[in-house]
Each structure stands twice: as C-alpha cells, then as structure tokens.
Amino acid sequence: MIPDEGQAIALHRKYGSSERIVNHCRTVAHGSKILSSALAARGKGVDPAAILAGALLHDIGRTMTQGVDHGYVGAGLLEKEGVDNVVVEIVRRHVGAGISPEEAASLGFPKGDYIPRTLEQKVVCFSDKMVSADMIRPFEEEVRRFERKGHDVGRLRQLKKDIQDELGEDPEKILLPDV
C-alpha cells in the first residue's frame, strides 16, 4: 500500500518519531508536492501519491539510527509494514545525493545501489537537500554543507540538474521564488 498523509503520520507515531523529525518530513513533503505538481503540469509522468508518502516517511529510520544507515533501516521498517516498494525505494535512496554500490559496500550496507534513479526518488532526495530542519533554504547552503562534510558536491549538483532538465526550469526557483 501507499500510505496517505494520515497513515504516514500514524507510522511515525507507531515508531516514536520526534516532533522535529515529523515537522522536517512535512516540510520535505511540502517541497516535494510543489515539484511534483510542476512536473505533472509539464506532462511528466510522476506518481504524486508515492512522492508524498516517500517524502513524509523518508526519515522514519531516524527512530532507530542517526547514521547514514537511516535510509535503508527506514526502508526495511516500511517493507515490514507492507508499504509499496516504490515508496520503500524512495526512502532507501534519499541519503546524501545518493550512495553508490561501491560506497555502500565500504560503509558495510547491504549490497545494492542507493542512488536515486527515478524522478520520484530524485524529487524527494532533492527536496530533502533543500530543507534544513523545517525550513526550505537556498541550494548553495546545502552545497556548503556538503563541502564541509567532504560529500560529493558534483553528485548533488547533478541531482538538481536532472530535475531541472525534466522541469525545463530551475527547481530552486520554484521552491524559493523570492531568492
């Protein structure tokens, strides 16, 4: 099943997510919805229900771990709950700007690809990168955070470009029209 908003929040309650996590997820869902509608308006085939559920549930694994493993931990938890695989994969692939199979192996993750590949996966991953706590803020702030942490900035910029190519305009301008 693809949880609706009420069911997604009920899952957060069941697993004991903090208000901070729930509010963060709601903000990422807000941004994801805007991008999902913009893509649909341009005739792009996206699954808005999967995007909404994936965005609302992307950090549910933080109830178990604060590490980079919270993506696949959350995905496993949702799988166990009978959540549709399309949502599970959004959650599994949202960490950073994605984690390659090689990086995953060196981190000791279960074998696999953790890079967002579908438009639904990319929209939620990008929206998450645009949100700090419960606020949408400029993309360059996330670039600086990636730089500080030694993450792959090229991959982050590519994620934004992939969405821009589908939208025909800058997704940041849609999320932050006044910046």
The residue ranges that bind Fe ion (CB under 5 A) are 59
CB of 144 to Fe ion, least distance (A): 18
Q: How far is the CB of 9 from Fe ion (least distance, A)?
A: 17
Q: Of 92 and 160, which has the nearer Cβ to Fe ion?
A: 92
Helices (H), the chain: 5-15, 19-41, 48-57, 70-80, 85-92, 101-107, 119-129, 139-149, 153-167, 171-175
CB of 131 to Fe ion, least distance (A): 10
Cα separation, 159 vs 150, in Å, equals 17
Q: Residue 59 Cβ, how far from Fe ion at the closest point, in Å?
A: 4
CB of 59 or CB of 162, closer to Fe ion:
59
Q: Nearer Cβ to Fe ion, position 129 or 167?
A: 129
- Give the CB-nearest residue to Fe ion: 59
**Cβ neighbours, 10 Å, residue 4:** 13
